[in-house]
Amino acid sequence: MSLKLNYHNDGLIKAVDAISPDRAAYYSRKCENFIDQYSSHPNYIDWTYGKTELLLQWVAQLAAEETLLNIVQELIGPNILLWNAFLPVKPPHSTGKFDWHQDATYWPVSPANEIVSFWVALSSVNQSNGGMQMVKGSHAEGPVAHETTFDKTSMLRRGQKVSVPADDARIVNIDLTPGQASIHHTLMLHRSRSNSSDNWRLGVGLNYASCNVGPKPGFQDSAILLRGHADNSRFELMESPKTDLDNNALANFARSQQLQSTRYADVK
Ligand SMILES: O=C(O)CCC(=O)C(=O)O
C-alpha cells in the first residue's frame, strides 16, 4: 500500500527513513550543543516550545532536507511551508510528558487536513525514554473534547488533555532509530510519557503545511517557504536563519511571538 493511502487510513505512519543515520548524527550533535549551551537560559523553554525554525539554522536545515520534503510532497503536494518546528527533548529521568491530545483542536490554522506533522528522531526513541504513542484510526473519528489542566509536568502550554480514555487495542508505540520519523494527522490522538530512562530523548517536531493553509480569522502567524510557491499566503513569510540565534533570527522570532500573541493571550 502507498504511504499516502496508509496515512489516510491509519492517520499515522509509524516510522519512515527520513534522513540518513549520518545526517541524524550531525543534527544530534547540533542539538546536544544547543542544550549544553542554552538549557539554563531564561528563554530556553520559549525557544524550544515553537517557532524554533526561526532561531536555529540547523532546525530549519533539517526541515528542508530533500528526503523529508519528498515524503511531505507525497502527502500534501508540491507547495510546502514550514509552519512550525519545536524541540521536545526529554532529559534522562525527567517528568515532562504530553497527555493524550489532538493537535487540530487547539491550532488556530486551517485547513488542518493540509498540515502534516513529522517527528524526527535524533536519538533512539522508545517507550522508556518517553517515545510517543498514537491511537491508530482515531483521526477519522473527528475532534474530541479536551480539558485544560495547566499541569506543570505537561509539555503543552495549557496542559491540554483528552478526558476520554484511549482505546488500548489500537495504541501504536512509536519507537524510532536516529534518522527515522513518525508522521501523524492533525486529529490523531497521541501522547508521550515521561523519560524514566538513563538516556536523553532527542528529536525535532515539524509541522508542514500546504500553501493553502493560513491562520484562522482573528489570528496571525508566520511560515517559511521550503518548496514550490506560497502565492497569496495568509502567513507572514519569513527567512530561515543564516546562523543560530543571530540578530535577524532573534528579531524574526520576536516578530512571530508578536503575531501569535492572540493565540497565547490566556497563557502569557
Ligand atoms: O514530543 C512528543 O512526545 C509529542 C509531540 C507532539 O505532541 C506532536 O508532535 O504533535
Per-residue pLDDT of 222-232, as tens digits, reads 999 999 999 99
**Per-residue confidence band for 6, with pLDDT thresholds at 50, 70 and 90:** very high
Average pLDDT over residues 153-164: 90
Is residue 98 in contact with ligand 1, taking CB distance under 6 Å? yes
**Per-residue confidence band for 167, with pLDDT thresholds at 50, 70 and 90:** confident
Average pLDDT, the chain: 96
Closest ligand 1 atom to residue 205 Cα is: 9
Distance CA 179, CA 204 (A): 11
Ligand 1 atom 8: the closest Cα is on which residue?
205
Is residue 119 in contact with ligand 1, taking CB distance under 6 Å? yes
- Is residue 201 assigned to a domain? yes
pLDDT in tens, 94-128: 999 999 999 999 999 999 999 999 999 999 999 99
- State percent of the chain over pLDDT 70: 99
- Is residue 150 assigned to a domain? yes
**Per-residue confidence band for 266, with pLDDT thresholds at 50, 70 and 90:** confident
pLDDT at 206 over 80: yes
pLDDT in tens, 210-219: 999 999 999 9
Distance in Å, CA 205 to ligand 1 centroid: 7
CATH no. for residue 15? 2.60.120.620
- Is residue 264 assigned to a domain? no
At 248 the pLDDT is 98
- Is residue 169 assigned to a domain? yes
pLDDT in tens, 54-75: 999 999 999 999 999 999 999 9
- Is residue 266 assigned to a domain? no
Distance in Å, CA 93 to ligand 1 centroid: 18
- Is residue 268 assigned to a domain? no
Q: 3-state class of 121 per DSSP?
A: strand
pLDDT at 163 over 90: no
Number of domain units in the chain: 1
Closest ligand 1 atom to residue 97 Cα is: 3
Average pLDDT over residues 8-16: 98
**Per-residue confidence band for 1, with pLDDT thresholds at 50, 70 and 90:** confident
pLDDT at 164 over 80: no
Asked whether 240 and 57 are in contact (CB, 8 A), the reply is: yes
Is residue 103 in contact with ligand 1, taking CB distance under 6 Å? yes
At 215 the pLDDT is 98
Distance CA 198, CA 105 (A): 34
Closest ligand 1 atom to residue 130 Cα is: 3
Cis preceding linkage at 111, omega within 30: yes
Distance in Å, CA 42 to ligand 1 centroid: 23
pLDDT at 257 over 80: yes
Is residue 205 in contact with ligand 1, taking CB distance under 6 Å? yes
Q: Of 118, 124, 117, 119, whose CA–CA distance to 178 is shortest?
A: 124
Distance CA 258, CA 252 (A): 10
- Is residue 69 assigned to a domain? yes
Q: 3-state class of 113 per DSSP?
A: helix
- Is residue 136 assigned to a domain? yes
**pTM of the predicted structure, to 2 decimals:** 0.97
**By residue range, what is the domain housing residue 182?**
3-259
Distance in Å, CA 155 to ligand 1 centroid: 9
